[in-house]
Amino acid sequence: MNTFPPYRIGTGYDIHPLKAGRRCVLGGVEIPSSSGPDGHSDADVLCHAIADAILGAGGLCDIGFYFPNTDLACKDMNSLDILRRARDETAALGYAIQNVDATIIAECPKIAPYITAIKESLAATLALPVNCIGVKATTNEKLGSIGAGLGIAVHAVCLLARTRDDAPPPQPRQDLP
């Protein structure tokens, strides 16, 4: 069995409730809004979903393993640091991110005017060209809790390519009984 496949793909998903008075930070970009995602960190739901896609592609643990929401050090942390950690963890395995793509599902705020800035922020953080970052925003057509404007959800995918053969293959997580 080839434990060093040349390419690996991963998916990520995250959702946070919207809370009045919270900052709305998506991909490291603050979007003017009367409410923002609630959470232990800065609740950057876009960074979280992309980080999980990167880690998942590497066969690694999810972001809750690296950044527990019970850890006071993670309180209000900048989620761009979570993205950098995900990139570094996969680099240590001998893989480089080729591209990421994400879909933000939110009824509000309006995200379209900020897509370019969000892509530039993610590209700079992941050390990728901007054209290797996909970010789309859609609504839930007023269906369900997302459609009622109660939260923001994000789906993401990531492709990794092997860059060298001297690194260990991904290891299963060690924190389970």
Min separation Cβ 110 and Zn ion, Å: 21
Q: Binding segment for Zn ion among 11-19, 113-121, 137-145, 162-170 (CB under 5 A)? A: 11-19
Among 8, 14, 27, 89, binds Zn ion (CB under 5 A): 14
Counting residues that bind Zn ion (by CB under 5 A) gives 2
Which CB sits closer to Zn ion, 133 or 154? 154
Q: Does 48 bind Zn ion (CB under 5 A)?
A: yes
Which CB sits closer to Zn ion, 56 or 94? 56
Side chain identity at residue 159, one-letter code: L
Which CB sits closer to Zn ion, 98 or 103? 103
Min separation Cβ 36 and Zn ion, Å: 12
Q: Which residue is nearest to Zn ion (CB)?
A: 48
Side chain identity at residue 29, one-letter code: V
Rounded Cα distance, 63 and 83, in Å: 9
C-beta separation of 24 from 151 below 8 A? no
**Residue 72 has which token pair?**
């006071």
Which CB sits closer to Zn ion, 11 or 116? 11
Residues 112-131 that bind Zn ion (CB under 5 A): none
Q: Binding segment for Zn ion among 42-50, 93-101, 114-122, 123-131 (CB under 5 A)? A: 42-50
Residues making contact with Zn ion (CB under 5 A): 14, 48
